[in-house]
């Protein structure tokens, strides 16, 4: 298993190839890169790819619910 930042993987393999590997559109990859989202892509031993996003919790500062 190899974990790589989305931006680095796109620079290495190309936006269209990564989009296809993740099962999303190339514009979805472009939008994630433009928004500077913290996304890591894992390449598994069987050649498949998965991705996960690292986000702060809560993701919207200042919006808290009363208990």
Grade residue 14 by pLDDT with cuts at 50, 70 and 90: very high
Note whether 5 and 48 are within 8 A (CB): no
Quick one: how far is CA 13 from the chain centroid? 14
User: What's the rounded Cα separation, in Å, for the pair 22 and 33?
Assistant: 15
Give the domain CATH number at 29.
3.30.240.10
Q: Which of 5-9, 25-29, 56-60, 62-66 has the lowest mean pLDDT?
A: 62-66
Domain assignment of residue 62, yes or no: no
Domain assignment of residue 65, yes or no: no
User: What's the rounded Cα separation, in Å, for the pair 27 and 60?
Assistant: 25
User: What's the rounded Cα separation, in Å, for the pair 47 and 56?
Assistant: 30
Q: Does the pLDDT value for residue 24 go beyond 70?
A: yes
Domain tally, the chain: 1
Domain assignment of residue 60, yes or no: no
What pTM was computed for the model?
0.81
Note whether 41 and 9 are within 8 A (CB): yes
- For residue 33, what are the domain limits? 2-53
């Amino acid at each position: 298993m190899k974990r790589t930042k989305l931006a680095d993987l796109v620079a290495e393999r190309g936006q269209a190839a990564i989009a296809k590997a993740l099962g999303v559109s190339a514009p979805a990859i472009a939008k994630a890169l433009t928004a500077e989202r913290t996304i890591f892509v894992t390449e598994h031993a069987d050649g498949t790819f998965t991705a996960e996003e690292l986000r702060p919790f809560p993701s919207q500062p200042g919006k808290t619910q009363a208990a």
